[in-house]
Amino acid sequence: MSEGLRLGMIGAGGMARSLATAAAELDDCKVVCVQDPLSDPAQQLAAELGADSCQQLEELLSRSDVDAVVVAAPNYLHKELTVAAAGAGKHIFCEKPMALSAADAQQMIAAAREAGVKLMIGQVLRYVPPFAWIKDFIDADNLGEPFAMQTTRISGPWHGHYAQSWRMQREKCGGPLFEISAHEIDYMRQLLGEARSVYAHLGQFTYFEVDYEDLAYVMVNFEDNKVGCLLAGFASHMGAYDGKILCTDGTLFFTDFGGGVSYQRRGEEEPTTLTGDEVGEGYEPGVRREMREFVEAVLNDTEPTIPGEEGLRNTEIAEAAHISGEQGQPVSLPLSGTESRRRAKAAMATARGQG
């Protein structure tokens, strides 16, 4: 690929625009075609990028000048689009949430493996400061070993075009643990390792225009008795984003998405506080970094930095939270394939029925 990576966009919505814009900034990547069943957004984004546009997936996938695709369509389509792209021999960058069930995520991984193509998942939060900075700071052994984390991401209802979209239906978006907190779940795993079990309380209290929970409390037990607790959903009249990370030799709090950080080490009398600008200094914008790393993985034939297996683990935690919420009991991981497949089939049948 002497001319760099030639990319096709699947979807021309808000996230496709951010990913395509970031990709277009890279020296060794060019967006050649944008596909969306709606011609207006496809044509508009394509015009901005100097690319072609089309409405049919088959047209995009049959192009020999497309080496790789970015799946930035609604969540419930990620599996079928990824499997189709792999079948056409295209490398795939798929947005989070990877899938709406672990069974689907496994199929996506298998399809990419069989086709010999790369599969990377857009778990971008881990690349966004302060999250990237915090992970680097902890990895550099500044606070000892992280063993507990609490994170909150709450808001009120969807607004604007979101409130008219696929995001209103469970079968299409998965609810807050898939659509939004795929990020927080991924970040907890970055710090605490692999999950062993999940216990969740889900409910619907203030937002009845959606057909899914507006509140999720999720407790995840990680290996070595580490624990993560997530409060998520749309039931809050005030938005909030914050987190607390407890480590053996220090404690760190973060406030706001992209905001500041404070930490205090064992023996210190005062916390050290850094602003969002201070922790963000020197960090590449998250979306550009994930696109760059995907392009590098394909061009250099290396393992993607966020492979499908990472998306699978995150999907499995969200799915286990739903099962736990239904059953009122902790759910062990990994999920049994049978349970995940049953739920995936039921969800897809309902989504198809709703058009």
Ligand X SMILES: NC(=O)c1ccc[n+]([C@@H]2O[C@H](COP(=O)([O-])OP(=O)(O)OC[C@H]3O[C@@H](n4cnc5c(N)ncnc54)[C@H](O)[C@@H]3O)[C@@H](O)[C@H]2O)c1
- Return residues touching ligand X (CB under 6 A): 10-16, 35-38, 41, 57, 72-75, 77, 95-96, 122, 124, 165, 179
Residue whose CB is less far from ligand X, 96 or 289: 96
Rounded-to-integer distance, Cα 187 and Cα 180, Å: 12
CB of residue 80 to ligand X, shortest distance in Å: 8
Cα–Cα distance measured from residue 82 to residue 184, given in angstroms and rounded to the nearest whole number: 23
Sheet holding 91-95: strands in order across?
Answer: 52-54, 29-35, 5-10, 68-71, 91-95, 119-122
| Shorter beta-carbon distance to ligand X: residue 147 or 162 | 162
CB of 351 to ligand X, least distance (A): 12
Residue count of the chain, please give it.
355
Cis peptide before 37 (omega within 30 of 0): no
267: left (phi over 0), alpha (psi -120 to 50) or beta: left
Identify which of 280, 317, 254 has the alpha carbon closest to the alpha carbon of residue 96: 317
Identity of the residue, 10 or 318, whose beta carbon is nearer to ligand X in the bound complex:
10
Q: Is the Cβ of residue 10 or residue 120 nearer to ligand X in the bound state? A: 10
Closest residue to bound ligand X by CB:
13
Shortest gap between Cβ of 335 and ligand X (angstroms)? 21
Q: What angle do CA 104, 81, 27 make, to 5 degrees?
A: 120
- In the complex, the smallest distance separating the C-beta of residue 286 from ligand X, rounded to whole angstroms, is 8
As measured in angstroms, the least distance from the Cβ of 306 to ligand X is: 11
**If we measure between CA atoms, which residue out of 303, 286, 295 comes closest to residue 132?**
286
Q: How far is the CB of 17 from ligand X (least distance, A)?
A: 7
- Kindly tell me which of 184 and 213 has the beta carbon lying closer to ligand X: 184
CA–CA gap between residue 41 and residue 53 (Å, rounded): 9
Q: Which is nearer to ligand X, 311 or 325 (CB)?
A: 311
